[in-house]
Amino acid sequence: MASDNDAKKAKLESHLLYAEIKTVEMHTGGEPLRIITSGFPDVEGSTVLAKRRYCREKLDHLRKMLIFEPRGHYNMYGAILVEADIKEADFGVIFIHNEGYSTMCGHAIIALGRYALDYGIVKGVAPETQVNIQCPCGLVRAFVQYDENTKQSGRVRFESVPAFAFSTQLEIETEKYGNVIVDIGYGGAFYAVAHASQFGLNVRESRTRDLVDAASHVTECAKRQVQLSHPVDDDLAFLYGTIVTDGKDEFDAKEPTANICVFADDEVDRSPTGSGVTARIAIQHRRGLIQLNQLRHFESIVNSRFTGKAIRTTRCGDFPAVVVEVSGRAYYTGTATFTAETDDERAEGFLLH
């Protein structure tokens, strides 16, 4: 029986376009994460940012295969684990989505923190284990709850790279909505942040499609009108998306605030968005709306929740900045093995928008 199975496996592998790619599947606040565990080619580059460029230039067909239909979907998100170039990092990561490669992803960090303990990358230490993850935006420190008796990992908090408000109360001209006021913040990636009321919408009640259309239009207009810069690397200086909020930045910080983050190619985050929460906290702190260590609760369109707070001040080049702590919970949803046959005309996938 074993020899028959080996023969069948060898016959199948002879018809494969690429090696089998194995993954662990997770979600954080409803937002999926496909962690590639084996079968992916070596990613070249002396830094994580260089590895990101290499993936974009040489391995993009595999991103499409794993993220696009029929193996994924329009809003799938993934992580490629790579060797870090920062000494204190336990590993590096390249984030992938429907449009390409992001520089930071908080929901992925929360999931990868648990994964690192549970799959032996980092040894669990009670009551909390530190996991250092090098992202394209820099080193992010995650802290994972760990129970020594049950060997179970739990909730994860992480400390961001220096986050800052790039511009506050900026007026953007839009064709659909007239002039719109936005804040632009950096939380490992740049986001425009706008109140839903400016579009005649409500984050908790309006149709998701209408919220996505508004956010995407703001992103398009802001990209044309705002020249972004980042003190560390030009590869970080791009507008990743727009966060539409319920407008409660200026309310009592004890109240939860809801938002929807639309990033990449109209991709909708099911979670409150870790890097988006980081950017919003940086903006709120810069505008004097919250103080250090003042906790805020952020809700997503599926009612999942992260917490965030600015824990210390710092600088990022000429920008006054803060380090933000974001906390959330990730869960496992399964494992998978993906293949592509040589005669499959849709081997690299497709997207329906």
DSSP string, 19-60: --EEEEEEEETTEEEEEEEESPPPPP-SSHHHHHHHHHHHSH
**pLDDT higher than threshold 80 for residue 346:** yes
Q: How confident is the model at residue 16 (pLDDT cuts 50, 70, 90)?
A: confident
Cα distances (angstroms) measured from residue 80 to each of 84, 91, 94: 12, 10, 5
pLDDT digits (tens, 9 = 90+) for 231-261: 999 999 999 999 999 999 877 777 899 999 9
Stretch 270-274: mean pLDDT, rounded? 98
Q: pTM of the full predicted structure?
A: 0.94
**pLDDT higher than threshold 80 for residue 133:** yes
- CATH code, 164-328: 3.10.310.10
CA 144 to chain centre: 18
Stretch 7-24: mean pLDDT, rounded? 75
How far apart CA 300 and CA 99 sit, in angstroms, is 22
pLDDT for the residue 3: 64
How far apart CA 326 and CA 211 sit, in angstroms, is 24
pLDDT for the residue 17: 86
pLDDT for the residue 6: 63
Domains 2-159+332-338 and 164-328 share a fold: yes
Stretch 40-69: mean pLDDT, rounded? 97
pLDDT digits (tens, 9 = 90+) for 161-204: 999 999 999 999 999 999 999 999 999 999 999 999 999 999 99
Which residues sit opposite 302 in a β-bridge? none
Stretch 209-214: mean pLDDT, rounded? 98
Element (H, E) at 187: none
CA 342 to chain centre: 32
Percent of the chain with pLDDT over 90: 92
Would you list the domain boundaries of the chain? 2-159+332-338, 164-328
How far apart CA 209 and CA 32 sit, in angstroms, is 20
Annotation says 105 is catalytic? yes
**Mean pLDDT over each residue of the chain, to the nearest integer:** 95
Straight-line distance from the first to the last Cα atom of the chain, in angstroms, rounded to the nearest whole number: 45
**pLDDT higher than threshold 60 for residue 8:** no
Stretch 218-238: mean pLDDT, rounded? 96
- Catalytic-labelled residue, pool 105, 135, 137, 221: 105
Q: DSSP letters along 265-279, please? A: TTEE-SS--HHHHHH
* Lowest mean pLDDT, pick from 45-54, 112-121, 167-176, 244-253: 244-253
pLDDT for the residue 185: 98
For residue 272, give both structure tokens: 């409150």
At the top level of CATH, which class does the domain 2-159+332-338 belong to?
alpha beta
How far apart CA 184 and CA 48 sit, in angstroms, is 25
How far apart CA 297 and CA 114 sit, in angstroms, is 22
pLDDT for the residue 12: 53
